[in-house]
Structure 1
């Protein structure tokens, strides 16, 4: 049993880095496997590779070690833009933010570690995706995260398989997790001003503190493994299919919806920007191209 906060803060970033490495390797394998004879210049490109960039967090008016992170960004022939970022940061919440975070009103000091991934694809027939998991410590501590699928053209089998993967991960820990976290995802990834869902859902959870830290950490690791299992399979299923200019235009409009949600409503974006995070890493989630009618 992991009993101390320091031990936990040592273990969690190691897992996020390991998961990052495994995901990047799987995505680069997809780049290598792409033939795409119909795809013209895309097929003629070299397979994409992740480029990594480290950053350090600064806290306004203070000096010291406030942690940082590492971006991994790839622009390839399957993945138009994909970022897999990890970070471990610490510092003090602003007065504005303290009331929004459990345990921060008692003491504004915080520590947070996580992984965040967004993939935007060249093909409008391959679904975009988001995944993140995190561990946050104030005077309290908890896990959060999840993943949601964002197809341009929803596919019933893709949706079923994506949800089944996360349901299996949830059911292995608590049969109440999947229905609860699925509903939470549907509510969270909704665009009120459009009155529509961002995608076809997945799971979303936050403030997970069951009283058994090791069990909560094991669940969070299984969420990451579930993503690593299912998403590359969905990409392989569709990445060789031909697509049209009209389908590409539709993709750009759907990306506009994605950008609207992330800039207006996403709590992760707000958390990063309001806690002195790296702007480039935070806005990595935005698509490389988007359009509005």
Structure 2
């Protein structure tokens, strides 16, 4: 197993995809290739695996992790562009799709990427080096109102206004350049409020800024709908999320796709012509076992939802 990134819920994903040996499968967020490697093992010479990731370092690691084969195609792009990229490859239907929406272990542990509040590093947080803005730009350039909005909406931070004030106050003296500086600001804000809670005080702030930098929630629901419609009948989509905002979007999108008629209940006949597109196979999300959490603490917050195309 590569130390680059440990795949979470690996057995659950492989089981959930219900892999056909001659099928076409898409890993929209290949990371270090852990999930893809196991998918590829189950494919025969007629199968095809598409490995996509916005991070070129992840693509390079996946190529080292997975045996070289003409039955694998690599794409370096945002998974939200998968449908158009697959169409360009003349792939109209697939048997399975996997999305792992979390930040990889490698990205967190690589100090230069600036994702972790536990490692001193320049404020960056970009999943792709081609991304236009960095965490530095957000922290030092956004207005008070903009900071409050992202901290509250993307971090669900109850002290969003107070932390935003502390950020503005600090950057008026000197620009906030490092992860440690930002973590210290949030820590002091919690100290003033006399409320640490159970987690690190910087966790929600870092999550919010990372989501803003990478536009992680933008068009996520539309993307899920598009990828679901790529599936052949009986094909499956597996989506792993790591925080409540993502999981809520996945859940709500699946529910809408599973609905049939959406006419008013008082209407005598159906006029909407809406058909149920999927069957949700996980009424409650699958989570990591105690053993997996013991071996990989980052799997603790992972939630897997699975749906099958009708």
Q: TM-score category by the smaller chain?
A: under 0.3
Q: Which has the larger radius of gyration?
A: 2
Tell me which protein shows more strand as a share of its residues: 1
How does the TM-score come out when normalised to structure 2? 0.26
